[in-house]
Chains A and B, each alone.
Chain A
């Protein structure tokens, strides 16, 4: 690399514009990002892996434990219980959220409604609300003492709905996440629909395709990369769920325990128990679960991918 640089530079006259050579330029452009990337992603990961190989004990301090933490995670019912909670959560929530987003994007793209702009903006607005604030608002709405749904039930002499019971909590959380992200996913699909070349619609019309056939046979296959991305993002976000259950805990401490989701578990291990090594191992295994789930999903769907 350095060798090829010198003869070429020698035969050419010195440039007037700048002294940065073309060989060096990409490294300089990359430098700020890569430095931050190393400092705040690579280094913490390496450090976390190092910590996960040690055990923090109250008496003996930090001791090397090898893979002991990982073996412990494998049999940790608290960790897998949290993963299971989120698998159930994802099975209910992801299809609802993504199919609503897809439906709205297709309808808005076709312009078959009045006041298109209002819908596009209105659906997206909840995404601007931080999840902490969204959870606080929904927490007020769910509230068993002065929540409006409780008030309405009481006004009609009905038993007030218990959104915070162990059976209902997963749906109450799913509702918050759905409220937050339908519009975001809709915008992704909408942008992808806009990128579909317009001559395809023309060709389909000439061939006598119905609107439904056009959506199913032309738009859906072309949208597939966008759909795949949103699914992988959703799997990722679901398995990392933290803010919503962490704050709902303040309302329902008995329903949401400290290992309700894997991230809650890792957080409580690290903060209340100071078990940094074990918390790091839990996070690593969670990362592997997320990467594995995304990978398996990509494999399955690529096989069953709609024909173009």
Chain B
């Protein structure tokens, strides 16, 4: 039960490469904070710095109000779940879970009761004598979690723990991790590059890019009000459509193909963003058109099942539009797509939201 505070944390490697460029995050008690970003954005480095596996070049990291910069990973009272599980291959499940407690000199009966209790919660109690190689991927994942839980640490750190599982198991484990974290009420930091995982797990979403934080917020807030074009393109699948916006002399704003936007557009706006699901394909006879109406040519149709994605083109720009269910549209068709003013996102020429 602890807060985790990062204050202007930097990581500069020996070669001069700056992996993390001044990051400040305040993670409240019991929250699950997800660090998300493309590979190389510094999210794993940041996590490893919280764990104490990487040194901190400048800034401070505190756990529960105490600065831990110069404290080793052993004494930070954290537990980490690794991408490849990092189970000790020669030890049984029981010993894997008990190892950390033994090293801390926990009395034997207590170790035994804690390991068995944790194994029960994770449904590992039948597997305690097995070696890691005799377990399936999902079971290994559970053992890795068990090893973290049994220690009852202040903070859990997850380093892309689900990336080695198949899609179905990943969905299942995602729910389990979320429930477990909520039930145990342990502050957690979770690193992933998968925006779906980030959206579903996070209490607090931190989007990182090239060593800096692009946005911090609740997942749905980040989704609905992306702070930058990077976040807009990163969160959401398929990503938000981004189009160049030009302001005419008469004060009207136009996008590709000369379509005008009806309504107020901020002065600085240079980029227009539109989520695939916010673009509607109105009935041909509809009288009510949105603030924006674009005549597009359909290039490809991707039926996913419950929805279909139309890949469209207009004057050199590409737009993806989501339509529910099965689509009757064929590649080569011409369509009019529309969107309401409140569904449009505007960004300035640097990609910042306006």
Please say whether chains A and B are actual partners in one complex.
Answer: no
Residues of A within 8 A of B (CB): none
